[in-house]
């Protein structure tokens, strides 16, 4: 995994490893700039290589890309639920269906501790179980609720909320937070 590339793509609020892989994966859909790195097999393969999640010999089939889209859609819905503090049963069921159909692969560190296996994949179908393992680990360690989607509907960027009280709502306060606060201010004064 190319951590430096993923951190740069997450623009300021990166998650700790290996949750950073989920954050970067969720951000393969850039709402603001209208870029979808899962739009087709070629762009998906390019993103996987750039992120260091795939080897040069990577093969991407259409079915792999569709499974990755299902995972991304579920993850983004769950990150919205994290931001709102309320569950999303539909996204949870979709994630559960993916988990039933993909065998999660774990690796052992030198001390024998199990962790998600994030070796570069040669087939895109291997990515889904890797990312499911990262989600499971984040949920088990308590870091999962801190990964959220920006509440700005024009942004919807995944960010890691490192605030003490876990109350972060925007990927960047200076940009998205100010936009939403100014918009709300103007609306209050228009109707007042």
Per-residue confidence (pLDDT) for residue 93, from 0 to 100? 97
Would you say residue 184 has pLDDT above 70? no
Per-residue confidence (pLDDT) for residue 7, from 0 to 100? 81
What would the pLDDT profile of 14-29 be if each residue is shown by its tens digit?
Answer: 999 999 999 999 999 9
Q: Are 21 and 131 in contact (CB under 8 A)?
A: yes
Residues 151-164: what's their mean pLDDT?
92
Residues 136-144: what's their mean pLDDT?
97
53 three-state secondary structure: coil
What would the pLDDT profile of 98-107 be if each residue is shown by its tens digit?
Answer: 999 999 989 9
Residue 16 burial class via C-beta count within 10 angstroms: exposed 0-12, middle 13-18, buried 19 and up:
middle
Across the chain, which distance is largest between two alpha carbons, in Å?
Answer: 64
Task: Enter the DSSP assignment of 118.
Answer: -
Average pLDDT, the chain: 89
What CATH number does the domain containing 112 carry?
1.10.3300
pTM over 0.85: yes
Residues 164-192: what's their mean pLDDT?
68
Reference 101, options 74, 78, 119, 81; nearest CA is: 74
Would you say residue 110 has pLDDT above 80? yes
Would you say residue 162 has pLDDT above 80? yes
Q: How far is residue 149's CA from residue 87's CA, in Å, rounded to a whole number? A: 14
- Backbone φ and ψ for 2, nearest 5 degrees, come out as -90, 90
Q: What domain count does the chain have?
A: 1
Per-residue confidence (pLDDT) for residue 10, from 0 to 100? 72
Domain that holds residue 86: 3-191
């Amino acid at each position: 995994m190319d951590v430096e590339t993923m951190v740069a793509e997450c623009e300021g609020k990166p998650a700790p490893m290996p949750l950073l892989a989920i954050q970067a994966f969720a951000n393969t859909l850039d709402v603001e700039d209208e870029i979808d790195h899962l739009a087709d097999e070629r762009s998906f393969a390019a993103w996987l290589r750039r992120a260091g999640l795939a080897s040069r010999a990577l093969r991407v089939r259409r079915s792999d890309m569709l499974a990755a889209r299902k995972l991304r859609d579920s993850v983004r819905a769950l990150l919205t639920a994290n931001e709102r503090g309320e569950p999303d049963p539909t996204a949870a069921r979709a994630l559960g269906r993916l988990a039933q159909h993909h065998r999660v692969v774990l690796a052992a560190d030198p001390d024998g501790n199990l962790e998600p296996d994030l070796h570069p994949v040669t087939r895109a179908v291997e990515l889904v179980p890797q990312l499911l393992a990262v989600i499971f680990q984040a949920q088990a360690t308590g870091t999962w609720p801190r990964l959220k989607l920006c509440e700005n509907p024009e942004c919807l960027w995944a960010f890691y909320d490192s605030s003490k009280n876990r109350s972060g709502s925007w990927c960047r306060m200076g940009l998205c937070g100010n936009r939403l606060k100014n918009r709300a201010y103007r609306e209050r004064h228009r109707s007042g």
